[in-house]
Homo-oligomer: A and B are copies of this chain.
Amino acid sequence: MSEILVVGSLAYDSIETPAGKVDRALGGSANYFSLAASLFAKVRVVGVVGEDYAEKDFALLKSRNVDTSGMTVQAGKTFHWAGSYKDDMNEAITKLTELNVFEKFDPHLPEHYRDSKFVFLANISPDLQVKVLEQVKAPMFVGMDTMNFWISSKLNDLKKVLQKVDIVLINEGEAMMLTGAANGIAAAPKVCAMGPQAVVIKRGEYGFMMYSKEAGYFILPAFPLDKVIDPTGAGDTFAGGFFGHLASLGRAPKITDLKMACLKGTILASFTIQDFSVGALAKTGLKDLDQRLEKYMQVIFHG
């Protein structure tokens, strides 16, 4: 088993969906990622929070044996995002983004983080993604996420990060925006042409598509749920399950490893969206994952 380093946001989210709403609930890509990945492997977090960050929210990660020594507390408030989802649960509508302490985030890795073999650069500014990666000595497998904001505002920096990673995990709309392709299928090889060996394109309720230079397309649906409470964090949970599985194997990933990692990611994401915030994910164990994975295999024609 290898350690996973993740850099990303630690946040409080105010979210409204057709199923209800929550105010300043725990969120942020690094939290969803860590809760998912820590089911499989040791996770090390890099991030920044404000003085308002609750002790119980540190405690939640520590209860999963997550290393939080790379989380710094700075004067000011924690990153806050407010958004909503209408009937189309595939698309978040941002109401408010308060960067707060995140605005001057300058990531420095604790010395013992620098030997991490698996690295995930969640959705933060591309120059910070590079800055984190430069501090890791000899990573074996590096992944990244990004979003429309960075594609439109920092494309050159983003292209530099793309050349340094092994895999990109990205939403379908953002993959199309990044490449100018008319659909996700056309976008996938164009993303790989920008650097990475493989790309996972997340399709919300329609599941995911992986494309690799070595093996082409691998496409499957999401686990079927008749009710979605809150889709926030689904993508970061996917990434956490994906990297967790790979780190648990502890070797340079083969294509079959990447495929199984996609399955575990998509199943874990299906738990996240069944409650607001990390409510469902925090209660999900490996046994739940295995049971749902077995049901999923029937859905996708295995069984």
Contacts and interface: CB of A to CB of B under 8 A. Distances in A.
B221 A183 contact: no
Scoring A183, A189, A216, A225 by chain B CB atoms within 10 A of each residue's CB, the highest score goes to A183
A interface secondary structure, majority? loop
A226 to B, nearest CB: 4
A226 B188 CA distance: 9
B182 A18 contact: yes
Interface in A45-96: 87, 89
A109 interface: no
Interface in A217-236: 217-221, 224-228
Contacts of A215: 298
Interface residues of A, number: 33
A254 interface: no
A206 interface: yes
A203 interface: yes
A226 B209 CA distance: 13
A286 B250 CA distance: 44
A271 to B, nearest CB: 15
A220 B221 contact: yes
Contacts of A226: 181, 183, 185-186, 189
Contacts of A224: 185, 209, 217, 219
A205 interface: yes
A265 interface: no
A207 interface: yes
A263 B87 CA distance: 30
Contact of A218 (B18, B184, B301): B301
A39 to B, nearest CB: 22
Interface in A170-184: 181-184
A189 B227 CA distance: 13
A216 B259 contact: no
Nearest to A89: B183
Contact of A299 (B89, B207, B219): B219
Contacts of A183: 89, 205, 226, 228
A221 B205 contact: no
Contacts of A185: 205, 224-226
Given A183-B205, A205-B183, A226-B185, A301 B299 contact: no
B220 A300 contact: yes
Closest 10 pairs between A and B when the two form their complex, measured CB to CB? A186-B226, A219-B221, A206-B206, A185-B224, A217-B224, A185-B226, A217-B299, A219-B299, A185-B225, A219-B224
8 contacts: A181-B226, A185-B225, A189-B226, A206-B206, A206-B221, A216-B298, A218-B298, A259-B301
Given A186-B227, A302-B302, 15 more contacts: A89-B183, A183-B205, A183-B226, A185-B226, A209-B224, A216-B298, A217-B224, A218-B298, A218-B299, A218-B301, A219-B221, A219-B224, A220-B301, A259-B301, A300-B301
